Amino acid sequence: MTAPARSTLFAPATLGPVPLRNRFIRAGTGESMADPAGRIGDEYVALHENLARGGVGLAFTGHIFSHLRGRYGDLQAGLHQDSSIPGFARVTEAVHRRGGRIFAQIAHAGSQSMSFATRPLAPSAVDNVMTGRRVEAATDDEIHEAIDGFRQAARRAVEAGFDGVHLHGANGYLISEFRSPLTNTRDDDWGGTRERRDRFPVEVIRAIRAELPAGMGLTMKVGLADLVDEPGGLTVPDAIEGVRSFVAAGLDGVEVSSNLMSDYVSASIRGYVAVDRRRALEDLLFHRLHKKPEPEAYFLPFVDALRAQVDTTIILVGGMRRVTTMAALVESGRAEFISMARPFIREPDLVQRLAGGQRTAPACVSCNICLMHDEHHALRCWRTPRMNLLRHAKYRFSGGFKGKGSGRKPAAGDR
């Protein structure tokens, strides 16, 4: 295997029109650092500056809501209003100062929205499997309003100095809901056939692309299948045909993931999750893990299927851990870029460590404690420093924990 520092992984590359210093991407991960108005501050800026300082080629922000009706949680950042632009301009300036690049991940949570002041937006009156919320079918005017919300958010991303936009079209959010026959039962211009179900994301992509200058990139996190128990969902062949139309509409590349999910842990993030008090205590005292083996690159079958059918840049996310595995996948042409999230939470300077040979794999053990807390606490690794693990155990034993066990899906993507 190629020595780390000489691997293609660490060589400059281009994503669409955007030059990158290497092929490592920080996957979109909910930072949970915004105020009630969706504005960000010093903590958010520092997080992304540290990632750029640590050598990441490109960072996708955590999902940024494009419209108040699409806000996922109270700590989520937004690009739904012009007053958000100055805060994000500080982020892009800090990242560029450190030699990095950053895309704004724009999203609409759809029926997973936690904005109880308004009715959740969904293509059809199908209760959300994650939240149990009852929804009504969106009107034609509401659909066009959502599309314009994405467009306006992209305009603000341009003004804030981002290098591109990363559209969130996976993990059960609004775009996923339009794409799945399980959640889109319409028989009008927005549903009824694969082409009409994909009309919403196609229109969103076109609207965003129209706002971006020539030097900015446009990528999308795309679900390649519904990973749910119920039959009749989005299939891989139909999903691939959708991606073909998305690329034709203006995408520079896709990050492959899942579409609808009934079980977030097994469908998307995988790995160990500390779910009871005994495990919390053992974590605290012994750093003991109860892990079942999980494969690296668990979305690789989706990637291979897409590669065989559609000519586009592919970003591989999902349990990437060993540098030898990453290098083999990139150098063989199965993927152009490697995307990770959890490892960068623990080690923002991971790319430098891998390039220098100090690491052959991240220190992250995929305990997923970071996901358990990200609805109510700013993003951090809860295993280090030791005080964070003590706080985690205290939350679990005091009964004050309101994270993953509450049935809410974590705000982060595939890790």
Query: pLDDT per residue over 199-217, tens digit each?
Result: 999 999 999 999 999 999 9
Per-residue confidence (pLDDT) for residue 192, from 0 to 100: 98
Say if 91 falls within a structural domain: yes
Q: Taking the CA of residue 112 as centre, how many other CA atoms within 13 Å lie in the half-sphere pointing to its CB?
A: 25
Q: For residue 125, what pLDDT is reported?
A: 94
* pLDDT score for 7: 84
| In-domain check, residue 247 | yes
pLDDT, the chain, mean = 86
Give residue 1's pLDDT.
42
Domain-embedded: residue 22 = yes
Residue with more model confidence, 396 or 82: 82
| Residue 280: inside a domain | no
Q: Mean pLDDT lowest for which of 142-146, 362-366, 406-410?
A: 406-410
- pLDDT above 60: residue 184: yes
Burial of 36 (0-12, 13-18, 19+ CB in 10 A): exposed
pLDDT digits (tens, 9 = 90+) for 32-42: 888 999 999 99
Give 120's pLDDT tier (boundaries 50, 70, 90): confident
Does some domain include residue 281? no
Question: What's the structural domain count of the chain?
Answer: 1
C-beta of residue 4 within 8 angstroms of C-beta of residue 55: no
Answer yes or no: is 388 within a domain. no
Write the CA distances from 26 to 65, 86, 90, 315, 380, integer angstroms: 19, 23, 19, 11, 15
Query: What is the span of the domain harbouring residue 76?
Result: 4-269+294-357
Q: Element (H or E) spanning 167, and its range?
A: strand 164-169
Query: What is the mean pLDDT of the segment spanning 261-280?
Result: 52
> What are 224-250's pLDDT values in tens digits?
999 888 899 999 999 999 999 999 999
% of the chain exceeding 90 in pLDDT: 64
Answer yes or no: is 275 within a domain.
Answer: no
Task: Give the pLDDT band (50/70/90) at residue 378.
Answer: low
Domain contains 393: no
Check which CATH number belongs to the domain holding 100 and give it: 3.20.20.70
